[in-house]
């Protein structure tokens, strides 16, 4: 029997609640169809609410505390096994089409070929001058804290990059290939800038509602006197006109992404039909976006909109119309794909979810997410533990602000029930301590930061290798908006950088 061809579509910054069946309604007919013909894992969480560490964890099935990677200027050593290595060993051609946010000389980590470049820097050194020329006024709007500077309808680097990636994938699927295929399609939407097409913007501008805890009087009590968190809350720059525009643009980007998934899925099905092979198609993202809840935007927090991600599978060996409620992790995706491919990947903390198809779920499992953020020059380690109905969050130096949410009773995370469930809190505190100390996490980040600075110094003398970074953003996608909810040039140093 032939090995199945497998395609995984991985977006960037798509929270699980932004879809037709989620808390924020977006028209996602392709994902709806996958949900009906396949299996959706309703409670999948990122292992870190930031791009690079989440993706490193996805590739290796290891927690950030095992890789030491907590920031976007980091990389896996090339001797670290990834699930893609297991697929290659099993005879697969592993193809990277687009984004994976690899940094440094190794741009493969088990992929045997790449057919489309990345949109973010692939070198340790950020080529700021080149990227400023390519991206114009949108250069700094791809991250916090400047994501609200340009919001509206028009052209953007995100949409142009994703269009290029999809074109490359469709071309590749028209070609014959000898080996069984594992293809990872990596797009950048719905990652900010919060800019979408005029059609999508107007559609969702009329539909979006104010996010939870948006008005000052609605801000939860647990954020009072919690500077590390409250400093993330936006002020006047998040006035309703801008927030409404950001939510409209984001939802529009999600719908555009859904249509791209549909195009790729259709081409993949034609490919497997021509080759007479079974096919497995999946979709996931790396983390979400709070999009104005608690007046926060982007990721880097453990609230549901930031930490919970979509994960769906359909095809050979995948049950139809099945919704799995058990807690799962981004680290499970690689081992699950490997078992579907007829092999295994047993490194790291991730696990194959095939037993869950048969109802063999682990009700005692704790799913973990970790982060070390920078604030005012200091590092602050933190951790989230999801257990049964509960979510426990703890920040170093702010342990008196520990949070516990009962997501069954309080899905929007408005009430901190930390004092009401002492036995749950004590159990999860002990489990957190078993994993790693906050001091050690902060030391890991500092050590990796020193390593990055050394490699930057090397590149200063040898030059950077920028070959696998996308550089073709057109002039019309550099900040000229058809409809502007915000169009404010970025003033360096005007806001606190967090990573």
Q: With a cut of 70, list the residues of the chain below it in pLDDT.
A: 1, 490-499
Beta carbons within 8 Å of 141's beta carbon, 6+ residues apart:
147, 149, 150, 192, 193, 194, 490
* Token pair of 381 as six digits: 């380690």
pLDDT at 497: 47
pLDDT, one tens digit per residue, over 188-241 is 999 999 999 999 999 999 999 999 999 999 999 999 999 999 999 999 889 999
Measure the N-to-C terminal CA separation of the chain; round to a whole number of Å. Answer: 48
Cis peptide before 464 (omega within 30 of 0): no
Q: What is the pLDDT of residue 498?
A: 47
**pLDDT at position 140, please?**
87
Inter-axis angle of helices 51-60 and 333-340, nearest 10? 30
Give the model's pLDDT for residue 1: 67
- Calculate the alpha carbon distances from 134 to 157, 471, 484 in Å: 9, 7, 21
Which residues, other chains included, contact 14 with Cβ-Cβ below 8 Å and sequence gap of 6+? 190, 254, 257, 285, 288, 289, 309, 310
For the segment 59-104, what is each residue's pLDDT rounded down to a tens digit?
999 999 999 999 999 999 999 999 999 999 999 999 999 999 999 9
Residue-level pLDDT at 492: 54
Residues 13-31 have pLDDT tens digits of 999 999 999 999 999 999 9
> Residue 145: what pLDDT?
81
Q: Structure pTM?
A: 0.97
């Amino acid at each position: 029997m032939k090995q199945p061809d497998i395609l995984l579509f991985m977006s960037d910054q798509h929270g699980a609640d932004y879809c037709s069946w989620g808390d924020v309604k977006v028209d996602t007919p392709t994902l709806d169809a996958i949900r009906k013909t396949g299996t959706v894992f309703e409670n999948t969480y990122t292992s870190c609410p930031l791009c690079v560490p989440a993706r490193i964890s996805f590739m290796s099935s290891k927690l950030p505390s095992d890789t030491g990677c907590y920031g976007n200027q980091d990389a896996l050593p090339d001797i670290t096994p990834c699930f893609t290595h297991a697929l290659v060993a099993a005879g697969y051609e592993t193809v990277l089409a687009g984004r994976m946010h690899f940094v440094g000389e190794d741009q493969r980590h088990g992929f045997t070929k790449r057919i489309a470049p990345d949109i973010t820097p692939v070198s340790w050194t950020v080529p700021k001058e080149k990227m400023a020329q390519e991206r114009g006024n949108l250069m700094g709007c791809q991250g916090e804290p400047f994501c609200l500077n340009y919001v509206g309808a028009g052209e953007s680097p995100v949409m142009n990059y994703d269009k290029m990636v999809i074109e490359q994938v469709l071309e590749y699927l028209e070609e014959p290939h000898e080996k069984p295929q594992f293809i990872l399609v990596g797009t950048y939407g719905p990652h900010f800038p919060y800019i979408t097409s005029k059609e999508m913007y107007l559609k969702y501008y009329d539909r979006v509602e104010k996010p939870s805890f948006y008005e000052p009087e609605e801000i939860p009590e647990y954020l009072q006197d919690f500077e590390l968190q409250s400093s993330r809350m936006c002020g006047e720059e998040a006035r309703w006109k801008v927030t409404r525009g950001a939510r409209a643009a984001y939802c529009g980007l999600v719908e555009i992404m859904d249509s791209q998934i549909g195009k790729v899925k259709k081409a993949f099905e034609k490919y497997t039909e021509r080759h007479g092979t079974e096919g497995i198609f999946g979709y996931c993202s790396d983390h979400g976006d709070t999009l104005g809840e608690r007046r926060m935007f982007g990721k880097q927090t453990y609230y549901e909109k930031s930490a919970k991600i979509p994960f769906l599978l359909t095809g050979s060996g995948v049950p139809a119309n099945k919704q799995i409620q058990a807690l799962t992790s981004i680290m499970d995706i690689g081992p699950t794909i490997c078992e579907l491919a007829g092999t295994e990947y047993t490194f790291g903390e991730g696990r194959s979810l095939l037993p869950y198809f048969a109802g063999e779920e682990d009700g005692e499992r704790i799913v973990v997410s970790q982060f070390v953020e920078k604030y005012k020059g200091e590092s602050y380690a933190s951790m989230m533990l999801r257990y049964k109905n509960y979510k426990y969050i703890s920040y170093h130096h702010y342990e008196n602000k520990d949070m516990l949410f009962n997501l069954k009773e309080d899905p929007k995370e408005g009430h901190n029930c930390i004092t009401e469930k002492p036995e749950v809190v004590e159990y999860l505190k002990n489990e957190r301590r078993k994993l790693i100390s906050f001091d050690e996490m902060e030391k890991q980040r500092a050590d990796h930061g020193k390593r990055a600075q050394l490699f930057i110094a090397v590149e200063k003398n040898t030059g950077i290798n920028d070959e696998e970074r996308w550089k073709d953003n057109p002039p019309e996608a550099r900040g000229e908006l058809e409809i502007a909810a915000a169009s404010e040039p970025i003033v360096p140093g005007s806001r606190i950088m967090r990573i």
